[in-house]
Amino acid sequence: MESFSMLTQANAPWFVGWGTLALINAGLAQGKNRSGVLWFLLSVLFGPFATLVLVLLPKVRDRLF
């Protein structure tokens, strides 16, 4: 049991950083008129790679004309 608590304490900064990145990506996605929830979930799975893709994607237009 003691080894489990050491393992979770050692990885805590990674979980906090990964979660923060996912929240930032959700906000960035909404700013580009994309689904914040979808990009949050993608960011939880793929992390910085999702950020890179999101930054490179153009903003979605609301209407054509």
Please give the pLDDT value at position 52.
96
**What would you report as the CA-atom Rg of the chain, rounded to the nearest whole angstrom?**
16
More confident call, 4 vs 25: 25
| Tokens linked to 34 | 């994309």
Residue-wise pLDDT for 10-61, tens only, equals: 677 788 889 999 999 999 999 999 999 999 999 999 999 999 999 999 988 8
Structural domain boundaries in the chain: 2-56
Please give the pLDDT value at position 62.
74
| Cα 3 from Cα 1, distance rounded (Å) | 5
Please determine, for residue 65, whether its predicted confidence score (pLDDT) is greater than 80: no
Cβ-based neighbour number of residue 19 at 10 Å: 13
pTM exceeding the 0.75 threshold for the entire prediction: yes
| Cα 48 from Cα 33, distance rounded (Å) | 20
Please give the pLDDT value at position 49.
96
